[in-house]
Structure 1
Amino acid sequence: MTAIAHPAPQHLRSVSARRDAEAIARRKEALARLAARRMPLPGHQIQTSRAGQPLGLGHRPGHPHLHRAVAVPTDTPEVAVAPVVDRAKPNLTSREVEVLRTWMLVDSKPAVAQELYISLGTVNTHLTRIRAKYAEIGRPAPTKASLVARAIQDGIMTLDEL
């Protein structure tokens, strides 16, 4: 017996088209935000105020993760300035760093437990504490991908190690 494909009703096609358009708009907005980010180039210095504080928008006392300093080139004043983020680092123990690095290099938490000769519950406890320490300093990392990003930002791992 041959199945006959019927076109979707009009109201379902319009909902699907609207969702597709909204998804495309969200992607464009996200790409525009990514394109607006700038990393400081080597040879640039941080421009400071007379009081010695780095200049930038978004700084609030007690919130170093919101600080946006402005990098100014040392040799070419015509180059556009780029924002730099001054990040606070969590105080991770050596065992937490070991568990975090191992988790990033293997596929699963049970594999981490097996490799480090600890229980799965201990792996989960370490990861929970690591996430709590990042949240304490205002840099939450609820997913594995965000923990990878935090580890790279803090120099715990490099992209080449992944």
Structure 2
Amino acid sequence: MGFDGRASARAVRHSTAGMNRAPLRRDVSGEAPLARLADYRPDSVFGQLTKPDLSAREVEVLLTWLASESKEQAADTLFISASTVSTHLARIRAKYAAAGRTAPTKTHLFARALQDGYTSLDRW
């Protein structure tokens, strides 16, 4: 007799049917646990983020790329080649990795740019 995924799904549905979901519990400070997540930064070192030293050009390329649909579009805006944009982004990612704050995706880089003050949500 083999594994039947449908039977497993039925068992899960059956075991969770009728379960009441408890509201978020508040801790001693009166704050909901999810409210604290906004301030949580797992990559902080003793409460302070290690900010990599990005050059003005790296910041310009980063922000232009974040606002673009593609590296090619960012390259056209900056009058450089797409491979130059890729090179800048690779160096930016390397600097963040060296600071212990990896940024493998565009979303991660956007979050890092916000955390480090290179941009703000008001600009987007």
The two structures have a TM-score, normalised by structure 1, of 0.55
Partner secondary structure for residue 117 of structure 2: coil
Larger Rg: 1
Structure 2 gaps, min length 5: 14-23, 26-32
Answering whether residue 114 of structure 2 is matched by residue 135 of structure 1, we say: no
Q: Distance in 2 between matches of 1:115 and 1:98?
A: 11
Structure 1 residue 107 displacement after superposition = 1.1
Amino acid at match of 1:12: G
* Selected match of 1:123 from 75, 82, 85: 85
Structure 1 stretches of 4+ moved >4 Å: 15-20
Deviation at 1:104, TM superposition (A): 1.1
State the superposition RMSD in angstroms: 2.9
Normalising by structure 2, we get a TM-score of: 0.70
2:64, 2:108 → 1: CA distance? 15
Q: Which residue number in structure 2 is paired with residue 37 of structure 1? A: 37
Question: What CA distance in whole angstroms lies between the structure 2 residues aligned with 1:144 and 1:111?
Answer: 15
Map 1:46-125 → 2, pairs under 5 A: 65-67=44-46, 85-125=47-87
Gaps of 5+ in 1: 1-9, 21-30, 40-57, 59-63, 68-84
CA offsets, 1:79-115, max 9 Å, x none?
Answer: xxxxxx3111111111100000001111111100111
**Greater relative CO (CA pairs within 8 A, separation 6+):** 2
Shift of 1:18: 7.4
1:11 has 2:31 as partner: no
**Cα distance change of structure 1 residues 13 and 140 upon mapping to structure 2, 3 Å threshold:** same
Q: 1:103 to 1:16 in 2, by over 3 A?
A: farther
Matches within 5 A, 1:147-158: 147-158=109-120
Q: Quote the Cα distance in structure 1 between the aligned partners of 2:62 and 2:5.
A: 45
Give the letter aligned to residue 44 of structure 2.
Answer: H
The Cα shift of 1:117 comes to 0.8
1:37 maps to amino acid? L
Aligned residues: 102
Per-residue CA deviation, residues 91-149 of structure 1 (Å, 9 max, x unaligned), is: 11111000000011111111001110111110000000000000001011000000000
